[in-house]
Chains A and B, each alone.
Chain A
Amino acid sequence: MNEKNRTNPGNRKGHDTLQKQAEGRKPKEKTPLIEVKHLQKVFTVGQMKVKALGEVSFVIQQGEFIALQGASGAGKSTLLQLLGGLEQPSSGSIRISGTKLHGMSEDELARFRKENVGFVFQFFNLIPTLTALENVMVSRMFDPESEVEAAWDYAVELLTRMALEKRMSHRPSELSGGEQQRVAIARALLNRPKLLLADEPTGNVDSGSGKHIMELFKKENRTGTTIILATHNSEIASYANRIMKMKDGRIM
C-alpha cells in the first residue's frame, strides 16, 4: 500500500509524492484523502437495534484539520472507529487514499492502521508496564531489528517534540494525564500516518494541558498530517480548520 513509508520509517516521501501528484494535476482540486458514501452503522443489542450512524456522506481533503463536534451519543466515536477500520460499516463505503476499507481482512486492516492511521484515545491507553519511549515504540515490536533502530531515533525526536525528553524512561503511572496523552500522541505519530484520529483527546486532562495538546495537534497538522478530532467542546473544536457538527448519528 504505502511501501516507502513502511520500509523506511525516517522518510516522508510517500506522503510528499502524494501531495505533489495532487498539486501537479490541478492546482486547486486535491485528491481527497477520505471519501465516505452513505455510511451507516447499526448496533444490535439483544433484540434492539441502535442506529449509531445514520446515512453520512462527506469528503475530507489531505491536510485538513477537522473537528467532529456533537453531544454525547451523537456518533462521533462510532464514526472515528469506522474511519480507522476498528468497526465494520453496516452499509455504505469508506475510501482512504482511494483504498476501499470494506472487504479488507482483519489482518489487512491492522496493517493498514499501522501504516496509515494514528489513534489518540480519551483515556490515553498507554501500556502500563512499558516506559514512555517503549510505549511509543510498541507498534514496532515485531519488526526486524534493523528497522527498529531508525524508529527508535524518531520516537526520541517525537517525545522531544512533545516536551517529554526528560520523561522517556518513566512509566505511565509516573506521568500526569497531560504527559500521558502527549506520549500517546507520539505513539500515534511514530509510523508517520497520513491520518490522525483523536477521540476526546483533551477529555481527561486539565485545561492548561488541553491547550498544550491542541497546539501540538495544530503544529502536526501544519506538517501535512490530516487530523480528525472528536469533541463536544466548542472551544477545543475552534482549533480546527473545519467543524463538522454531528447530531443523532447525522452530520448537520
Chain B
Amino acid sequence: MYFNLLSWIKLHKDKQKKFSVIDYIFRSLTEHKLRTYLTVSGIAVCIALFILFNSLGEGLNDYISGRTSSEHLERYEEMSELLDGWLNVLTSVFVIILVVAVANSMLISISERQRELGTLKAIGITSGQVRKLVFFEAWAITGLAFLIGTLLGIALALGCDQLFTSAGSGGEGLGWFFAPAKITFRTIISAAFISIVAGTLAALYPALRAASLKPAEALRYE
C-alpha cells in the first residue's frame, strides 16, 4: 500500500485566489520530498519511542503497584523512582536528537536557498518575515512528525500490551519486551510539548542566520 501524505494534502487544498506563506512553505517542503520524508520519519520514530517507553513505564508501574503488598512498598517506590529516572534520561536523549535533526534539516534548507532568501529580501520581505519562514517550516516538520509519531507510538504500545495479555500468564518470564502498557493523556501531551520545544529550539539559529543575510551579498553571482 502506498500512501503519499503530501499529495493527499495537495489534493485537499483548494486553490483559490490565494497565496500565503503556508503555500510557500508547503512548496519548499514538497520540493525536497526525500529530505522532508527522512527528517519527518526520523523525528516520528523518536516520538513513537518516547510514547512507547512512557506507556510501558506507566504500565509497569501500575502492574507492580497492583501486586505489591504493604511490606514491599518501600522497594516498590525505589523501583518506581529508578524507572522515572531512566525515562527522563531517555526523554532528554530524544529531545537532543530531535533538535539536532530539525536544526540540520533547516540549516541545509537555508544554505541551499541563500539566493532565494536574498531575492525575497530585495523585493520587500523583512528580516522578521524571513525568520518566520524558518520557524514555520520547522514547526511544519515537527508537527507532521508528531502526528505520525503519535500514531506509531500508540500502535507499538498497544501491540506490546496485546502480546503481553495474550501470553495469558500475566507476564512471568516474558521479559521487558512484552510488558503491560498504559497510554495516558499526559504522555501524548508531553510528546506534543517536546515536539514544539524541539522545533523552536532547532529553528532559532537557522532563523537568525537567514534573517541576517545581506540581500546584496546573497544576490551576488555564483
Chain A contact residues, CB within 8 Å of chain B: 81, 84, 86-87, 106-107, 110-111, 113-115, 118-119, 121-123, 125, 127-130, 133-134, 137-142, 145, 148-149, 152-153, 187-188, 191
Contact = CB atoms under 8 A, between A and B. Distances in A.
B219 A149 contact: no
A202 to B, nearest CB: 16
Interface of B: 17-21, 23-24, 27-28, 30-31, 115-116, 118-129, 132, 215-216, 219, 221
Contacts, number: 92
B216 A81 contact: yes
Main secondary structure of the interface of A (DSSP, over half): helix
Contacts of B126: 106-107, 110-111
Nearest to A131: B27
Contact of A141 (B23, B118, B215): B23
A180 to B, nearest CB: 13
B24 A130 contact: yes
B18 A127 contact: no
B7 to A, nearest CB: 15
Contacts of A139: 120, 123-125
B27 to A, nearest CB: 4
Given A81-B216, A86-B122, A125-B119, A145 B221 contact: no
Contacts of B128: 107
Contacts of A141: 19-21, 23-24, 125
Nearest to B115: A125
A121 B28 CA distance: 22
12 contacts: A86-B216, A86-B219, A114-B125, A115-B124, A125-B115, A127-B119, A130-B24, A138-B120, A142-B132, A145-B18, A152-B18, A153-B17
